[in-house]
Structure 1
Amino acid sequence: MTSHPAVPLLRTTPEGLLWEPSERWVRGRRGDVTVVDSRHPVLVWEPRLPVPQYAFPRADVRTDLLRPAQDPPRGARAGATVHYDLEAGGETRPNAAWVFPADDLAGHIAFAWFPGTGAGLDHWYEEEEEIFVHPRDPHKRVDALPSSRHVRVEIDGTVVADTRAPVLLFETSLPTRYYVPREDVRLDLFEATSHRTRCPYKGTADQYWSWRGGGAVPPNLVWSYPDPLPAVAAIRGRLAFFDEVVDVTVDGERRERPVTPFSAGLRV
């Protein structure tokens, strides 16, 4: 049998884009209209962006709903020069799609994902599971492991959580998060808020709390996933803290406050 050298999945374009094919079945919808239905998407990483995006073969996209952009952005999307507005459901979403300026990806179309942009599609699915915020990175790992470590959390010297039954959540490139049983948290020291966030790896955190004690403590520093994705089911209903702004002691050892992509937003 003749052997052939393996073809690397992750490839680089002269423009500095990284990309690799995916075998996931991906669909994107605008309202009740399926705009994308692809079994051959590719994942694309732009320079200086830590998360991937999907690009789809043109044949898998409802290109009849796309129009040349009326006001294309400048200097965005790693030099993309072709942008499209999306017309569907009686609404126009500007700059909802674009083509990356790379020969390898010339036959593919990408869509905006990030929330709050007013562009892109409403719902995305990998196989039968809805996904949020951005595609999940196949090179990133998230593990939720029950533990017997002793974890204590303090704010301005006040102990707000103390447990010997945490779940440790290990996520590539982020500090360990300690998910504490609700009964081991002094929730009487916090006030529930209406804040909510979504994570492509964990689901929807629709329970947040802010510190009642005043001082230079940012809001929404405690959160919970009442119904997390199956892969991290162990964190269900537990509470976690932004280690960036609280003091965490694990088995008697005080942890340094980490600096993360969330740090800039955790300011009073």
Structure 2
Amino acid sequence: MSLTLGPAPLGNKPAGVFNSEPEREGLLYLEPSPRRIRGIAGGVTVIDSREARMLHEYGRLPIYLFPREEVRTDLLEPSERRTRSENKGEALWWHLRLHGEPVEDGAWEWHDPPRGAPPLAGLLGVKWGALELWFEEDEEAVVHPRDPYHRVDVLDTSRRVRISLDGELLAETDRGKVIFETGLPPRWYVPLDDVREELLIPSERRTGCAYKGFASYWSVLIGDRPEENLAWCYREPRREVAPIAGMIAFFNERLDIELDGQLQARPLTPWSPEWKGERADEAPVITA
């Protein structure tokens, strides 16, 4: 989630209402980042930037762009690929060569942006997956760049949280925690002791979140029917959300949650069974 994605103010499905409707389509916002950003692959520091920019674009996650002098351009080989977008112009692409085979089309530059676009020329983008490690200051960054306008708040709650599916009780607690995260419905985390563990089936699924870390999943047995990947847990979450370590959360979109006896509406998100758009639970693909 970000300033320009999903239910955010400038996203494609804003949750709130403006007094006048802004033009969102094609919107770009380029700003300096105060963070030192480094990207490493094969033991080689490819990027070491103190003057990075962050590009926010309507309907996309933000990305970092770097001045040429802060990128090992000697490791880049020209690619024949060219792409074009109306709001950013033509992109030239490069392969990234380290010790062995090149990473094809691993970097790009919008070398001639159209009139009215932010100053993109001279800034290089590098695909997140082209490098093995990324650091913001001295902390590893995972999955994608973190949006400075994204909040993740973990709060204690004494509300009675009751979670069920098709009348089958899955969990019930009054000592849970709730995460309020930009662009997402509240997620209610339950101590493992308050979950019916006998219904949990370990899953091979793993996902990563730039803000919370890496999650493990469970399917849940309802009668003789397994509901796939319905619950998850961050065993070793990032420091900012450390209180949820080892607790279990369930997809609000796929079951019933009652708070102090009041049934909550199931939110419509990319994790809803009836969602018709693209899924948002994988690492984003950066395209030019």
TM superposition score category, shorter chain reference: 0.7 to 0.9
- Report the TM-score, using the length of structure 2 for normalisation: 0.79
Equivalent residue of 2:198, what SS?
A: helix
Q: 1:71 to 1:128 in 2, by over 3 A?
A: same
| Partners of 2:162 and 2:194 in 1: CA distance | 10
Number of equivalences? 246
| Partners of 1:202 and 1:42 in 2: CA distance | 23
Q: Which residue does the alignment assign to 1:21?
A: 32
Unaligned runs of 5+ in 1: 1-14, 114-118
| Partners of 1:233 and 1:223 in 2: CA distance | 15
Q: CA deviation at 1:16?
A: 3.5
CA contact (8 A) 2:107 2:125 kept: yes
| Partners of 1:42 and 1:214 in 2: CA distance | 52
| Partners of 1:222 and 1:89 in 2: CA distance | 41
Q: CA RMSD in A?
A: 2.3
1:246 is aligned, of 255, 259, 268, to 255
Equivalent residue of 1:137, what SS?
A: coil
Q: CA deviation at 1:27?
A: 0.4
Q: Which amino acid aligns with 1:151?
A: V
Q: 1:198 to 1:78 in 2, by over 3 A?
A: farther
Q: Which amino acid aligns with 1:40?
A: E
CA contact (8 A) 1:35 1:62 kept: yes
Q: Which residue does the alignment assign to 1:112?
A: 127
| Partners of 1:150 and 1:182 in 2: CA distance | 15
CA contact (8 A) 2:28 2:118 kept: no
| Partners of 1:150 and 1:78 in 2: CA distance | 50
Query: How much identity, in percent, do the aligned residues show?
Result: 44
Q: Which residue does the alignment assign to 1:197?
A: 207
Q: CA deviation at 1:246?
A: 1.1
Q: Which residue does the alignment assign to 1:237?
A: 246
CA contact (8 A) 1:46 1:78 kept: no
CA contact (8 A) 2:178 2:189 kept: yes
Equivalent residue of 2:228, what SS?
A: coil
CA contact (8 A) 1:132 1:198 kept: yes
Aligned pairs for 1:1-268 (under 5 A) are 16-49=27-60, 51-72=61-82, 79-100=89-110, 101=113, 102=117, 104-113=119-128, 119-205=129-215, 207-213=216-222, 218-263=227-272, 264=275
| Partners of 2:104 and 2:83 in 1: CA distance | 10
| Partners of 1:215 and 1:75 in 2: CA distance | 50
Q: 1:76 to 1:217 in 2, by over 3 A?
A: farther
| Partners of 1:221 and 1:38 in 2: CA distance | 40
| Partners of 2:227 and 2:107 in 1: CA distance | 36
Equivalent residue of 1:211, what SS?
A: strand
| Partners of 2:90 and 2:145 in 1: CA distance | 20
Equivalent residue of 2:150, what SS?
A: coil
| Partners of 2:87 and 2:228 in 1: CA distance | 32
Unaligned runs of 5+ in 2: 1-25, 281-288
User: For residues 79-100 of structure 1, what are the alpha-carbon distances to aligned partners after superposition, in whole Å with 9 as ceiling and x for unaligned?
Assistant: 4421111111212111211113
CA contact (8 A) 1:47 1:78 kept: no
| Partners of 2:44 and 2:201 in 1: CA distance | 40
- Report the TM-score, using the length of structure 1 for normalisation: 0.85
User: For residues 204-259 of structure 1, what are the alpha-carbon distances to aligned partners after superposition, in whole Å with 9 as ceiling and x for unaligned?
Assistant: 11x21012236886511111011111111111110011111011111111111111
Q: Which amino acid aligns with 1:36?
A: I
